[in-house]
Structure 1
Amino acid sequence: MIPYGRQDIQQQDIEAVLEVLRSDFLTQGPVVPRFEKAVAEKTGARHALAVNSATSALHMACLALGLGEGDWLWTSPITFVASANCGLYCGASVDFVDIDPRTYNLCPKALEAKMEQAEQEGRLPKVVVAVHLCGQPCDMAAIHALSQRYGFRIIEDASHAIGGKYQGEYIGSGRYSDITVFSFHPVKIITTAEGGMALTNDDALASRMNLLRSHGVTRDPTLMTHEADGPWYYQQVDLGFNYRMTELQAALGVSQLERLDDYVAHRHALAVRYDDRMANLPVTTPWQHPESYSGRHLYVIRLNLERIAASHREVFEALRVQGIGVNLHYIPVHTQPYYQKLGFQLGDFPESERYYAEAISLPLFPTLSEAEQDAVVIALEKALQSP
């Protein structure tokens, strides 16, 4: 089986982790700050805070922005559920904005129209989570311009996008957002096994997230409510969580980060090769914005179903039978049973539902060989001719 995604672990990664295992610190040592500093320097962000998952990063980002009961969080329906769940964790309500049919990202025009209506109804969002699907950045300048008009805060869910660029700057620079979140899950562009990171240029947001990731506990005298009783002293000054990243994970991240640009460049080369080999097939290959540089986490095709005899499911299953580990990113969040119970219905976001009816994620990862890639295309050609 050729998987849709796979980590690339090299000897230098193994040695980096072994070095930590032989050290005095397995957690809360010097390697996590080293990883944070390296990512901040790479992206140009002022602060980077490593955590145990991107979901944790999204949660504490929402809390740091003051999201709570009575507030609204908006995001795209085409994302993993965590991009929406983070709002519910805070007691806020969640709504969605339909996608752009070309980029599959949150559509700025749909966002503007929904903002105009929400302003009339008195239910403007406090936070908008802009998801960079497949690694291609959203139109952040347009979203930011709307935030200036309507007063919402912006989280970039860049779980797919580390190493990508927007307007010539690395994603994570924070030019058009309050907080950016990365994921380091094994199928992502670089991995720490599990892990995530929140980046911001705002000192106050960084301080709040730093507290939230470690139980709301501090030894910083400037954050305490009264003088310390002794050198052992700490105070809980906020209600936080145990969202910390381990030294082992950070060591792996530091090592992987050294190959980030090479990984992304190779993903681009593989994607271009896919484009060429599928040019005459009844599928739509991923469009790339000329002013952006995608992280290329996923390679999603859309089936031109009116031109083939097989159904979406038949093509998907035929690929799996041939040993191609395709996947589908993502089932629209508003169609999930939990969100249906919140009042969402089929038909609420038609462009997202059309995408779901046609999308298939093909294998794309750094160690994918040209022979394996050719096998994927041959299998797709056969699948398109089934049943």
Structure 2
Amino acid sequence: MTSYIPYGRQDISQQDIDAVVEVLHSDWLTQGKAINHFEQAVADYCGVKYAIAVSSATAALHIACLAIGLGEQDYLWTSPNTFVASANCGLYCGAKVDFVDIDPFTYNLSIDELTQKLNGADQQGCLPKVLVPVHFAGQSCDMEKIAALSQQYGFHILEDASHAIGGKYQGKAIGCCEFSDLAVFSFHPVKIITTGEGGMVLTNREDLYEKLIRLRSHGITRNPELMQGESHGAWYYQQLELGFNYRMTDIQAALGSSQMQRLDEFVSRRRFLAQRYNYLLQNLPITLPRQHPDTESSWHLYVIRLNLDKIPKTHRQVFEELRQLGIGVNLHYIPVHTQPYYQNIGFKWGDFPKSEEYYADAISIPLYYGLSKEDQNRVADNLREILT
């Protein structure tokens, strides 16, 4: 029987297992030292001052928006080519959401579209308070140009780097927040490193850090300097704002710290496999992923686009035939504005044509650390047979 090749999967070593078991034998399964250790490991790697571990990247996006003051009557803008959480985080705060179409070269938010939309919004008095550029597939958006526009138009920048830990922009680690207020990572099992479920917010701003720490744990502080009135004793805490139970466990953090030790190895292997795909798939009627010269992707995804005018099959037929052959392809993403929920609040097909064109012919093929050359050859051979 032919084995199944998933589009992505985690890689768990004995070192990872031992790290988790050590926590299970300890006195702290949550809110212990493993959290601080993991946060410091990520902060050091990215060259950022503060890192706050949370229960998911969605939670990270939510409290990042709250920390920066997003609220009712404000606008959050993001890319349509992303998972719904990149937009939903604005709605969680009572804000309005809008989108900026993608660049057909990188599939990231288009700088030209952003510039044009900001100019129109400025004239209409409805500029965004927060922009969420999404580093799709692990490739950074053009953050220097986005930062220049933020200076001109006065919006905050929250990087959705869920795909991108281990990647670089202009030679620096994605997540360093050189051109943003905050950045968010995801540690879902198909991402570069995993904690099972989990996420992290990074920032260089101490004021945001202090607020994020409270927001992830019910808005509570034990710091006497932040309390109203004097502390009643060592047991005392105060809730200063409405927060959430978005904490990560020490079990997850121990796994994350162990995985961080292999992050460069994971990314190096993904880059090798991506280059190998470029060779194996050349001359097929598809468009291979392209890279901006300022970026070094972490290659969370390897996305091909079908040249449907040169293929005697539909997008759906190619997708389903690959699945039938045990190739676990996927599609990232269905444009957010086309989801029924977003249609119900006023968006429609045709609003963001580049994202829709991308959706009509894109396929994510298997890419993960443990993908063998033999399985990669099988993916390429099956794709060639289907397309030619």
TM over 0.5: yes
Q: Which whole-Å CA distance do the structure 2 matches of 1:381 and 1:29 have between them?
A: 51
The one of 144, 147, 151 aligned to 1:148: 151
Q: Which whole-Å CA distance do the structure 2 matches of 1:104 and 1:175 have between them?
A: 22
Cα RMSD between the aligned structures?
0.5
Q: Which whole-Å CA distance do the structure 2 matches of 1:303 and 1:147 have between them?
A: 35
Q: Which whole-Å CA distance do the structure 2 matches of 1:363 and 1:322 have between them?
A: 13
The one of 354, 358, 366 aligned to 1:363: 366
User: Can you list the C-alpha shifts for 1:322-352, whole angstroms capped at 9, x where unaligned?
Assistant: 0000000000000000000010011000000
Q: Which whole-Å CA distance do the structure 2 matches of 1:91 and 1:147 have between them?
A: 22
Deviation at 1:107, TM superposition (A): 0.4
Q: Which whole-Å CA distance do the structure 1 matches of 2:361 and 2:105 have between them?
A: 13
Matches within 5 A, 1:190-269: 190-269=193-272
Question: Any unmatched runs of 5+ in structure 2?
Answer: none
The one of 29, 34, 39 aligned to 2:42: 39
SS in 1 for 2:103: coil
SS in 1 for 2:133: strand
- Give the corresponding residue for 1:60: 63
Q: CA contact under 8 A between 1:190 and 1:256: conserved in structure 2? A: yes
Q: Which whole-Å CA distance do the structure 2 matches of 1:4 and 1:20 have between them?
A: 31
Matches within 5 A, 1:222-371: 222-371=225-374
User: Can you list the C-alpha shifts for 1:348-384, whole angstroms capped at 9, x where unaligned?
Assistant: 0000000000100000000000000000011111222
- Aligned-partner residue type, residue 285 of structure 1: L
1:5 aligns with 2:11: no
1:26 aligns with 2:29: yes
Q: Which whole-Å CA distance do the structure 2 matches of 1:167 and 1:121 have between them?
A: 34
Q: Which whole-Å CA distance do the structure 2 matches of 1:230 and 1:35 have between them?
A: 30
- Aligned-partner residue type, residue 140 of structure 1: M
The one of 112, 123, 134 aligned to 2:137: 134
- Give the corresponding residue for 2:86: 83
Deviation at 1:289, TM superposition (A): 1.5
The one of 167, 179, 186 aligned to 1:176: 179
Q: Which whole-Å CA distance do the structure 2 matches of 1:290 and 1:212 have between them?
A: 38
- Aligned-partner residue type, residue 361 of structure 2: E
User: Can you list the C-alpha shifts for 1:192-213, whole angstroms capped at 9, x where unaligned?
Assistant: 0000000000000000101000
Deviation at 1:231, TM superposition (A): 1.5
Deviation at 1:158, TM superposition (A): 0.3
Deviation at 1:88, TM superposition (A): 0.1
Q: CA contact under 8 A between 1:314 and 1:383: conserved in structure 2? A: no
Q: Which whole-Å CA distance do the structure 1 matches of 2:236 and 2:267 have between them?
A: 45
User: Can you list the C-alpha shifts for 1:143-183, whole angstroms capped at 9, x where unaligned?
Assistant: 00000000000000000000000000000110000000000
Query: Which shifted more, 353-362 or 224-233?
Result: 224-233
Query: Which shifted more, 126-135 or 281-290?
Result: 281-290
Question: Any unmatched runs of 5+ in structure 1?
Answer: none
- Aligned-partner residue type, residue 97 of structure 2: V
User: How high is the TM-score relative to the length of structure 2?
Assistant: 0.99
- Aligned-partner residue type, residue 257 of structure 1: M
- Aligned-partner residue type, residue 173 of structure 1: C
Report sequence identity in percent.
Answer: 64
The one of 377, 384, 387 aligned to 2:387: 384
Q: CA contact under 8 A between 1:316 and 1:326: conserved in structure 2? A: yes
